[in-house]
């Protein structure tokens, strides 16, 4: 991590220098009248967006929450590998890795054919396939994830904090103005309950959960399963003779239904999901009267011959949810797309819901706003036209739809009676096979955005077969040349709204003057058509918007750091200090060769252009100047003062 | 990391539940009259001890500091691998890994024979030899290390915080009583400067630096180099064309002296040490009038043809220090050892000082008090006789002496004129060779305690040739059986004052009943001669003092967790919850086989007994019951209420 660019400052480096001119936050200070962005709801979607926008103190962001303060426990707990990669960009992946449970293996239990009243283990699957991500799949209390985002926002230049105890009641959009066109009525839910106030915003993002008022205000409905599926879920401290209690388990009993076991952070806690549809008919009808004791009793019936001795029920709930989706994630109907740009968005559960079985709800909600955050920042900072905001709904709706379809298929298989799903002719039971097939989905790694102004055509995809355009940039090991640091290339990407270009050098390129890497940096630094020249602002560092990194095939000690071109050692910040963290080479200590691992053309090298949300926008030859120029011209606008 | 043992509690798991009955810390509350331990000085030695003792809220610990608050910058910055291993036990190694600079390579520069006025690189050395430690060698502002210890103390059950603005003036020891025999006079250095107060303590630990008043009070002198060696040191934000500015460098010029470059945290900052003895004679005489500008000018002369353009001098100092040592680190002269036990100790710079060249000062200071902390806790909690405290001075004095000798030899080589040290007949220059030879010392890994009541004889050393008795336990990769977690075995050791027994199973032992591991656990859990039976307290968990872990040679999926004996799945805490983190097996994913890496006898297995400070106390056969019993009888005492 890089810090002290603008001078030394003692203390925790995650606490950034506060920007001037922040809102008065002393007690009883009034709410602002106008903001750039109003985020509604402090769930994972809202907090991820707040953490992202708080990096830009020029943007006036407000986040409200109906509840009086942060939640303490319960709700979702699955953090997939893709989300962990995003947490890395926000700076707290290491904290999550340390505190959380890691899902290394998933085991499968079905009725013992010799004694169908008893379950027995029939298989194990490595939960994160080798090299599918450098990150683990983890499980951690949703409340803790909230806290980590809150810390990011609190420590940001904007020192952003939520306004608790305020609920959005309604909103209206005045399409005829660009000056804070959204008028929002907020209602106090705290000491002055019922009191209302009005805030005007340039943009409103409804992260207000499945009963979203924002969605209703822009005329959205959730469509999908009419029949809700009910799950009993409990987080417990308990003893058991079940040997796999510290592994993720899918347990299918012959007569008593299914259980999903999710070990949790801290080594003692675990979660059990019990599918309530499979309960005895008399229990099912009275779902609403179920208590934790019913869930415990059901779990004990399903787990026979093992038993669970519960010592503390930390949290429990009957979680009823279907797979549902709205028609669009913003306020602009298809018919108006050509004439106006969105002002109001929905994200997370507000626009799509998922069953907890695949553990997607929290992940996909955060990925929504990670997609939206940088786009809002680009538009509000004048880096892109407002039409960029159309891509949010386009990209995320398609993904939500795909996910729901996968989720659906999985739910059918999971719920099929054991006789049917268990043996499929082959050795491996059908649901284990399906589980393995689903891993890219559950890991969040199957997301692939369609070609658009933000996702280039696959013309040169063969130059980097393992970095597919439209998918997330797949990190791999490298060594940083200046200090021989072994690290993950993907970890240079911070949640800072910047684009990255990874320039992979061809075999013979050791960055001597005249080499393709030099030609690229010369063009990028000097040519009027270069996006760096065109879109950099006079008041920011040369890498303030587009951050170039290079990766060589030699080992670090075979390169001459003195020959590296200036754009790869740019002088930055108030002192013009050299940045020495732009140049990499292949790992020489056995972690793997990034060129081989990601199918990079060793002879020709290539450029991989990566969006601020870590998705691959383009793969181009090292001399693909014109295509690079054209791509960025389709996304960015010149600084207004040009 | 394990938490929630005594019930769920939201928030940061590093913040432990506060113990009842803590000192009144509201403003203007008076200082206590009596404490168990008074620590003098908030440097690395004092803070490490405070962090350690704060884990035992039953022990009343006070730490004072003459200054008005924590330092902000400067002083030492080297954290060697051994210290990183200790930080792991305190829970903040990951934070340091993330924030710090990692010393991966050290490079050597000497005058170019063709142009002796210019330096050129003559070699590189990998700074941490492969598998010498699982930890990196890092560089980080000493002030930040202080903060991380302060956080541990603040978040501990004792919620320990320093009392700033109080200096120890004097102390007296009343040898005739055991009730708080040390009387300490403190002087206020803050608003009420000059005001004095008296505190009585059972133990006083002088961590009060090179001019220690505590040392003086117990009649200690520092002996050693009469001639102080002066170094100019500066932490700077600067640009340079020197290509290795992000590597640790030893630079020797032909005429202008030597420079040591230490890149630092954050990617921009670096430190330069300039040996002032090599300055022009006119500069040398006026050492006292030197400024940062002189140091910068000297550095620029030494570094030719490269130059350094300094943008901010964050901190600079003329650091004059020799290699010096007191006769003993406690108040008991040799003549009195048989008749009384220590009441006052010195640690860190208070009893030994080192040149900064090998970066040992801060490390060795913390290792002193890590050695002392658990011993004080054992005695104050009635787990051991007070005579245990004699071992502190015995062990640490010998180490300090050895280190000073190595340091001395190194200083001589480093300072030798280039002609002499450069080429030694062989290819590699003498100082590079010596540097490589010294790596175990500079890494802190050469420490080896002599046989004593705390360090058993090497009778069975051949059972674990890579885990040498008297040295620190050398961690290696394992997989935790309950959840297939890949991890470092050594990372189970926390700074919690507990002993650990690692039982390595023989080849055929899969923990079926009747196996050697079962025999060991049966004996440990039930035999009246077992140290677990003898020294466990009725009010604590069965692993409250001696923590048994087992390591098997099979892969995790070949073991039957249900067969693991109860002592390896003990029920703990207020609910009697099972602990599932005691059983390990070899790593099956290529990280290495711990039996091979550490020379464990595959046929017979063995026990490795490890002290609370991570040093190996004994290596024994799995059925070495009698020797195990005898060893612990020499260290521990039975609970008083037995
Ligand atoms: C009780 C409960 C139990 C759940 N259990 C599970 C589970 O077991 N497993 C699982 O995978 N997922 C579970 N989920 C779902 C999971 O938590 C969500 O998928 C995830 O939190 C979605 O994040 P979000 O930010 O979109 O919405 P949410 O987390 O629902 O956040 C919405 C926030 O907006 C606030 N809000 C709502 N309306 C307004 C308003 N008008 N004004 C201001 N604030 C408002 C809400 O108070 C809430 O804090 C559960 C959700 C709930 C509510
Ligand atoms: C100015 C300075 C510069 C240094 N520069 C370097 C360097 O460049 N490189 C390097 O490797 N090492 C350097 N060191 C040495 C390194 O900091 C020490 O080796 C290390 O801090 C030793 O830790 P310690 O806890 O034993 O003592 P210290 O860190 O010296 O801590 C002692 C503490 O006790 C306090 N104290 C002293 N007397 C009293 C009293 N009577 N009552 C109460 N409190 C008291 C002091 O204020 C101080 O906070 C430097 C030290 C100093 C002081």
**CA distance between the termini of chain B:** 33
pLDDT at B273 over 50: yes
Which residues in chain B are closer than 8 Å to A547, comparing Cβ atoms?
A: none
Between the CA of B353 and the centroid of ligand 2 the distance, in Å, is 10
Query: Collapsing DSSP states into helix, strand and coil, what is residue B350?
Result: helix
Nearest Cβ partner for A5 among B4, B124, B268: B268
- Does the distance separating the beta carbons of B99 and A94 come in below 8 Å? no
pLDDT in tens, A5-33: 999 999 999 999 999 988 988 888 899 99
A101/B483 Cβ within 8 A: yes
For the stretch B398-408, pLDDT in tens is 999 998 888 77
- Nearest by CB to B269, which of A4, A95, A266? A4
Could you report the predicted ipTM of this complex, rounded to two decimals? 0.95
pLDDT tier, A428 (very low <50, low <70, confident <90, very high otherwise): confident
Cα gap A398→A448, rounded to integer Å: 9
Residue B285 pLDDT level (bands cut at 50, 70, 90): very low
Among B324, B361, B372, B410, the mutation site with the greatest number of ligand 2 atoms within 8 A of its Cβ is: B361
Spatial neighbors of B529 by CB under 8 A, at least 6 apart, are B625, B626, B629
Give the number of the atom of ligand 1 that is nearest the alpha carbon of residue A271.
Answer: 8
Does the distance separating the beta carbons of A13 and B266 come in below 8 Å?
A: yes
- Closest residue on chain B to A311 (Cα): B575
**Å from CA of B431 to ligand 2 middle:** 29
Partner residue facing B247 (CB), from A72, A263, A484: A484
Please state, rounded to an integer, the average pLDDT across all residues of chain B: 93
Per-residue H/E/C for B366-398: HHHHHHHHHHHHHHHCCCCCHHHHHHHHHHHHH
Give residue ranges with CB within 6 A of ligand 1: A 40-46, 64-67, 74-76, 142, 167-168, 207-209, 213, 233, 317, 319, 348-350, 356, 359, 361-362, 365
Q: How far is it, in rounded angstroms, from Cα A188 to Cα A171?
A: 15
Fold category of B15-100+137-225+323-415 in CATH = FAD/NAD(P)-binding domain (3.50.50)
> pLDDT per residue over B453-475, tens digit each?
999 999 999 999 999 999 999 99
Domain spans in chain A, listed from the N-terminal domain onward: 15-100+137-225+323-415, 101-135+226-320, 461-634
Q: How far is B487 from chain A (nearest CA, A)?
A: 11
Output Rg (C-alpha) for chain A, integer angstroms. Answer: 26
Please report the pLDDT score of residue B562 as a whole number. Answer: 93
How many angstroms away from the CA of B10 is the closest CA of chain A? 6
What is residue B533's DSSP assignment?
Answer: H
DSSP assignment string, A433-486: HHHHHHHHHHTT----PPSBTTB--GGGGGGBTTS-TTSBP---EEEETTTTEE
Terminal CA-to-CA distance of chain A, rounded, Å? Answer: 33
pLDDT given at position A100: 98
Answer yes or no: is pLDDT of B2 > 60.
Answer: yes
* Contact residues for B347 (Cβ-Cβ < 8 A; gap 6+): B45, B46, B49, B205, B206, B207, B329, B365, B368, B369, B372, B396
Q: How many CB pairs under 8 A join A and B?
A: 171
Which residue from B13, B72, B561 is facing A10, i.e. has the nearest CB?
B72
The pLDDT > 90 percentage for chain A reads 82
pLDDT of A230 = 76
Place of tokens 């804070």: A180
Q: Name the helix (H) or strand (E) containing A74.
A: none
- Are B501 and B507 within 8 A, CB to CB? no
pLDDT exceeding 70 applies to what percent of chain B? Answer: 95
Q: Which one is predicted more confidently, B26 or B613?
A: B613
Class of domain A101-135+226-320: alpha beta
Cβ-Cβ contacts under 8 Å, A311 against chain B: 575-577
Model pLDDT for residues B216-247, shown as the tens digit of each residue: 999 988 888 755 567 899 999 999 999 999 99
- Rounded Cα distance between B530 and B626, Å, is 9
- Cα–Cα–Cα angle for B77, B83, B89, rounded to 5 degrees: 130
B364 lines ligand 2 (CB under 6 A): no
**Nearest CA, atom 37, ligand 2:** B208
Lowest-confidence region among A245-254, A508-517, B419-428? B419-428
Note the pLDDT tens digit of each residue in A572-625: 999 999 999 999 999 989 999 999 999 999 999 999 999 999 999 999 999 999
State whether B486 and A143 contact (CB < 8 Å).
Answer: no
Q: What is the pLDDT of residue B498?
A: 98
Least confident of A289-293, A412-416, B547-551: A412-416
Give contacts of B2 with chain A, Cβ < 8 Å: 266-268
Average pLDDT for chain A: 93
Query: What does the alpha-carbon distance between residue B187 and residue B194 come to, in Å, rounded to a whole number?
Result: 6
Q: B339 CA to chain A: closest CA distance, Å?
A: 47
Average confidence (pLDDT) over A327-345: 96
pLDDT of residue A422: 54
Interface contact A8-B247, CB threshold 8 A: no
- Whole-number pLDDT of residue B28: 83
Helix (H) or strand (E) holding A116: strand A115-126
Residue nearest to atom 27 of ligand 1 (CA): A209
Residues of chain A contacting residue B94, judged by C-beta atoms under 8 Å apart: 94-95, 97-98
Q: Say yes or no: CB of residue B208 within 6 Å of ligand 2.
A: yes
Query: pLDDT value at position A398?
Result: 95
- Contact (CB<8Å) A10/B73: yes
Distance A41 CA to ligand 1 centre (A): 9
Q: What's residue B428's pLDDT?
A: 76
Name the residue of B38, B40, B42, B43 to mutate for ligand 2: max ligand atoms within 8 A of Cβ: B43
* Ligand 1 center–CA A129 separation, angstroms: 30
- Report the top-level CATH class of A461-634: alpha beta
Res A285: pLDDT: 47
Q: State how far the alpha carbon of B215 is from the alpha carbons of A301, B91, B222, B227, B330, in Å.
A: 68, 31, 9, 21, 9
pLDDT tens string A73-84: 989 999 999 999
Nearest to A485 among B102, B144, B147 (CB): B102
The mean pLDDT value for A129-147 works out to 97
Name the nearest CA neighbour of B201 among B330, B61, B64, B341. B61
Q: Residue A345 Cα, ligand 1 centroid: separation in angstroms?
A: 17
Per-residue confidence (pLDDT) for residue A486, from 0 to 100: 97
Residues 6+ apart with CB under 8 A from A306: A119, A240, A241, A242
Q: Are A576 and B239 in contact (CB under 8 A)?
A: yes
Mean pLDDT of all residues in A548-575: 96
**Of the listed ranges A171-180, A313-322, B245-254, B384-393, the one predicted with least confidence:** A313-322
> In this predicted structure, what is the pLDDT of residue A87?
98
Q: What is the pLDDT of residue B424?
A: 46
- Could you tell me whether strands A163-164 and B324-325 are parallel, antiparallel, or unpaired per DSSP bridges? unpaired
Residue A270 is inside which H or E element, if any? strand A269-275
Q: Residue A409: is its pLDDT beyond 60?
A: yes
pLDDT over threshold 60, residue B327: yes
Cα–Cα distance between A435 and A421 in angstroms, integer?
12
Please answer whether residues A470 and A618 qualify as being in contact, where contact means their C-beta atoms are separated by less than 8 angstroms. no
Residue B180 CA, ligand 2 centroid: distance in Å: 28
Check residue A640 and give its pLDDT.
65
HSE at residue A302, side-chain half, CA atoms within 13 A, is: 28
Pairing assessment for the beta strands A101-102 and A223-224 based on DSSP bridges = unpaired
Q: Which residue of B has its CA nearest to A245?
A: B482
For residue B307, how many other CB atoms are within 10 A of its CB? 14
A126 to chain B: closest CA residue? B484
| Least CB–CB distance from A237: residue in B240, B265, B577 | B577
Q: Report the gap between the CA of B425 and the closest CA in chain A (Å).
A: 25
Contacts of A315 in chain B (CB under 8 A): 8
| pLDDT confidence of residue A425 | 46
Mean pLDDT to the nearest integer, B513-526: 96
């Amino acid at each position: 991590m890089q810090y002290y660019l603008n001078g030394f400052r003692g203390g925790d480096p995650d606490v950034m220098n506060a920007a001037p001119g922040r809102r008065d936050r002393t007690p009883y200070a009034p709410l602002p009248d106008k903001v750039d962005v109003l985020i509604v709801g402090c769930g994972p979607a809202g907090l991820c967006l707040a953490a992202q926008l708080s990096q830009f103190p020029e943007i006036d962001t407000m986040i409200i929450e109906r509840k009086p303060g942060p939640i303490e426990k319960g709700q979702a707990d699955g953090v997939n590998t893709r989300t962990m990669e995003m947490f890395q960009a926000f700076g707290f992946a290491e904290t999550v890795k340390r505190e959380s449970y890691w899902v290394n293996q998933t085991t499968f239990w079905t009725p013992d054919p010799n004694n169908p009243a008893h379950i027995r283990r029939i298989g194990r699957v490595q939960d994160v396939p080798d090299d599918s991500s450098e990150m683990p799949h983890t499980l951690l209390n949703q409340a803790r994830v909230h806290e980590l985002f809150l810390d990011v926002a609190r420590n940001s230049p904007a020192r952003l904090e939520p306004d608790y105890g305020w609920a959005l009641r309604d909103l209206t959009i005045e399409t005829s103005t660009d000056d804070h066109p959204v008028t929002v009525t907020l209602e106090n839910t705290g000491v002055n309950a019922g009191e209302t106030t009005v805030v005007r915003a340039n943009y409103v993002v409804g992260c207000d959960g499945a009963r979203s008022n924002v969605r209703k205000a822009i005329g959205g409905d959730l469509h999908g399963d009419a029949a809700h599926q009910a799950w009993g879920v409990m987080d417990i401290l308990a003893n058991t003779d079940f040997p796999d209690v510290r592994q993720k388990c899918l347990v299918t009993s012959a007569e008593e239904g299914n259980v999903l076991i999710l070990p949790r952070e801290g080594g003692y806690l675990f979660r059990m999901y019990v599918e309530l549809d499979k309960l005895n008919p008399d229990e099912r009808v009275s779902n609403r009267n179920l208590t934790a004791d019913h869930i415990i009793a059901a779990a004990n019936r399903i787990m026979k011959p093992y038993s669970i001795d519960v010592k503390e029920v930390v949290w429990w709930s009957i979680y009823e949810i279907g797979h549902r989706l709205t028609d669009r994630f913003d306020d602009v109907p298809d018919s108006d797309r050509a004439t106006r740009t969105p002002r109001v968005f929905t994200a997370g559960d507000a626009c799509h819901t998922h069953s907890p079985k695949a553990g997607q709800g929290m992940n996909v909600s955060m990925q929504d706003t990670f997609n939206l955050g940088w786009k809002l920042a680009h538009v509000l900072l004048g880096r892109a036209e407002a039409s960029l905001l159309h891509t949010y709904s386009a990209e995320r709706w398609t993904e939500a739809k795909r996910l729901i379809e996968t989720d659906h298929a999985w739910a059918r298989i999971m719920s099929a009676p054991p006789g049917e799903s268990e043996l499929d002719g082959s050795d491996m039971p059908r649901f284990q096979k399906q589980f393995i097939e689903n891993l890219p989905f559950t890991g969040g790694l199957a997301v692939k955005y369609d070609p658009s102004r933000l996702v280039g055509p696959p013309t040169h995809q063969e130059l980097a077969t393992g970095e597919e355009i439209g998918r997330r940039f797949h990190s791999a090991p490298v060594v940083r040349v200046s200090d021989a640091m072994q690290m993950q290339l993907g970890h240079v990407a911070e949640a800072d709204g910047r684009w990255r270009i990874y320039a992979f050098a061809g075999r013979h390129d050791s960055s001597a003057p005249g080499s393709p890497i030099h030609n690229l940096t010369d063009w990028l630094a000097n040519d009027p058509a270069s996006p760096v020249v065109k879109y950099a602002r006079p008041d920011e560092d040369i890498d303030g918007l587009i951050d170039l990194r290079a990766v060589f095939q030699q080992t670090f000690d075979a390169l001459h750091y003195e020959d590296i071109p200036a754009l790869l050692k740019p002088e930055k910040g108030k002192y013009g200090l050299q940045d020495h963290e732009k140049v990499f080479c292949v790992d020489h200590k056995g972690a793997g060769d990034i060129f081989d691992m990601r199918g990079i053309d060793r002879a020709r090298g290539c450029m991989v252009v990566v969006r601020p949300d870590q998705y691959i926008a383009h793969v181009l030859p090292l001399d693909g100047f014109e295509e690079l120029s054209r791509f960025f011209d389709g996304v960015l606008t010149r600084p207004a003062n040009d």
